[in-house]
Amino acid sequence: MKRLARIFLAFLILAGLWLALKPTLGNRRIPFLPIHWSQYLDLVDFWFNFGAFMILAVVAWLAISPGSHLRHAAALVLSAITAGNVLVEQVQRGIPGRAMDLADVLAGFIGTLMGIVIGFAIQLYTIHKREGSKPQVLFVDQTGRLGGAELMLLDIAAARAADSAVLLFQDGEFREALDEAKVETRVFALGEHAVAVDKQAGLRRIFHIVPELIERVLQTAMLAREFDVVYANTAKALVIAGPASFLARRRLVFHLHDIVSDSHFSTMNRFALIGSANAFAHAVIANSEATKQAFLSAGGSVEHLSVVPNGFKLTDTRSTENDLQDLRKHLSLPEHAWTVLMAGRLTPWKGQHVLLKALREVPEAHAIFLGDALFTDEDRQYARELRETAAEPSLAGRVHFVGFRKDTATFFDLANVIVHASVIAEPFGRVIVEGMLAAKPVIATRAGGAAEILTHDQTGLFVSPNDAKELANALRRLHADRTLAHHLATTACEAAREAYGLDAVRSKIEHVIQSCTPTASTPSLSNLQHAEILP
């Protein structure tokens, strides 16, 4: 198509040049028409400008068929054709009695714009779907960093690598991890302004990045045409993948990992998320009952809303004593130190500062902070403040920041207690389940999805969010009562293996994907209720 379009474009340019130069022949009679050349031009001028330039733009667009840099290509086609149009008008001024007609230039400009849209539509709808034994899924996630939502997606996509691709809007270790898992990846990088727009961003910052977002939507739509289903894994991914799936005429699954409330999102972002979900999502998967309820309270209304928690690989292997010794040495941790592990990105709402405060009252405890500031400047500032606090005399030597690590298992095996301390409702809380599966007693804050995972005094201990005193008491309790700690750990491990096995979770998600393929019958959609598991 591209070759044909190029030949046709060359022909159109030659024809255009001929037409443009012809008026210089003067007010001659056209041999096969009973009118003079200038009259003819007047007659067809508007439509010549509108129609001819539209056709020219369609062909020019198809001739260059850009897969990326859509904005630049559109600007190029528009400015080149408009410049040509102005030139034609200028040449026509050579005919006695004719002036430069701005209405014609405008007609040509609008025609060109329409031509670009038509060219893009032709390009989009001639893209072929991939073939495969399973539905072909395009997963979309905005970040290149490895947060909980990305780790969940990594496990889902890796299990169906032959029939999936992951589109990211930022490069990074997530892409590397997907490559390792042999999952096809594409990166349509967003500029730094767009990356900096976080869940709290207001209207002005969002407005700034609109042209870039439009371009990503169109690119995503082109890619989505190759797949059966589009699967948005994050809020920002939804805002792009939503309209893209609509343009590509593909169904959209939205995996909701966030609590849509004013403590997590700005009004503007809540509006964009709920609006996109309601307008474009065929099915929404919430990672906890709390997430689902928050979505509904924020005005979310989609026909197929199910709760599927995160799933985890179940393994019986534990770190060897040698591995643990090496890690202790690496961290300069005393041989018998009673160690508290807090894993997760460093960000104010995760409450690392609350644990530091509690640690002042538990002098026998050491703490390991596993994770880094992943997303915003505010997080990076918070990480610096945490390090400053940890250097205070009451804490110095007992707090170990190890940064982000991919190999988290040894840290969980080394710890005596796992702490989760989010000060606002945690949507799900993978680290809680990871602690349970490592057979460690877990202390978590009672809110959001976390409150659905543990049972107080049976599989873990709950404390109130943002209450360092209560956390210190819970730590002291576990330090003093090793039998309780052991009982909580073993019960928790059994419960977690029962509720959060990866295979079961994968098949529930596959069920939702299947129900979104065009051939899926309506009855199977109603079966989505069976996908709900409330731990």
Q: What is the binding site for ligand UDP (CB under 6 A)? A: 146-149, 151, 343-345, 370-371, 404-405, 408, 428-431, 434
3-state secondary structure of 230: strand
Cα–Cα dist 66/363, whole Å: 63
287 binds, among ligand UDP, ligand GLC, none (CB under 5 to 8 A by kind): ligand GLC
Query: First CA to last CA across the chain, in angstroms?
Result: 54
Q: Does 428 bind ligand GLC (CB under 6 A)?
A: yes
CB of 72 to ligand UDP, least distance (A): 36
Angle at 158 between CA 171 and CA 489, to 5 degrees: 100
Number of residues that bind ligand GLC (CB under 6 A): 12
Residue carrying structure tokens 């991890």: 177
Q: Calculate the CA 293 to chain-centre distance.
A: 21
Nearer to ligand GLC, 58 or 444 (CB): 444
CB 419, CB 395: distance < 8 Å: no
3-state secondary structure 437-453: HCCCCEEEECCECHHHH
Nearer to ligand GLC, 152 or 241 (CB): 152
Nearer to ligand GLC, 147 or 441 (CB): 147
Q: Does 152 bind ligand GLC (CB under 6 A)?
A: yes
**How many Å is the maximal CA-CA distance in the chain?**
107
254 binds, among ligand GLC, ligand UDP, none (CB under 5 to 8 A by kind): none
- Give the binding range for ligand GLC (CB under 6 A) out of 33-41, 67-75, 124-132, 424-432: 424-432
| Structure-token pair, residue 291 | 């997430």
CB of 9 to ligand GLC, least distance (A): 48
Nearer to ligand GLC, 245 or 287 (CB): 287
Q: Which of 429, 435, 441, 460 binds ligand GLC (CB under 6 A)?
A: 429
Q: Calculate the CA 529 to chain-centre distance.
A: 25
Closest CA to 433 of 344, 516, 364: 344
CB of 236 to ligand UDP, least distance (A): 15
| Number of alpha carbons in the 13 Å side-chain half-sphere of residue 99 | 3
Closest CA to 135 of 515, 521, 425, 462: 515
Nearer to ligand UDP, 94 or 403 (CB): 403
Nearer to ligand UDP, 104 or 379 (CB): 379
Nearer to ligand GLC, 270 or 430 (CB): 430
Q: Does 310 bind ligand GLC (CB under 6 A)?
A: yes
467 binds, among ligand UDP, ligand GLC, none (CB under 5 to 8 A by kind): none
Name residues contacting ligand GLC, limited to 212-271 (CB under 6 A): 257
Sign of the C-alpha dihedral, residues 386, 390, 391, 397? negative
Closest CA to 297 of 250, 265, 252, 339: 265
Judged by the rule CB under 6 A, the positions of this chain that interact with ligand GLC are 147-149, 152, 257, 287, 310, 426-430
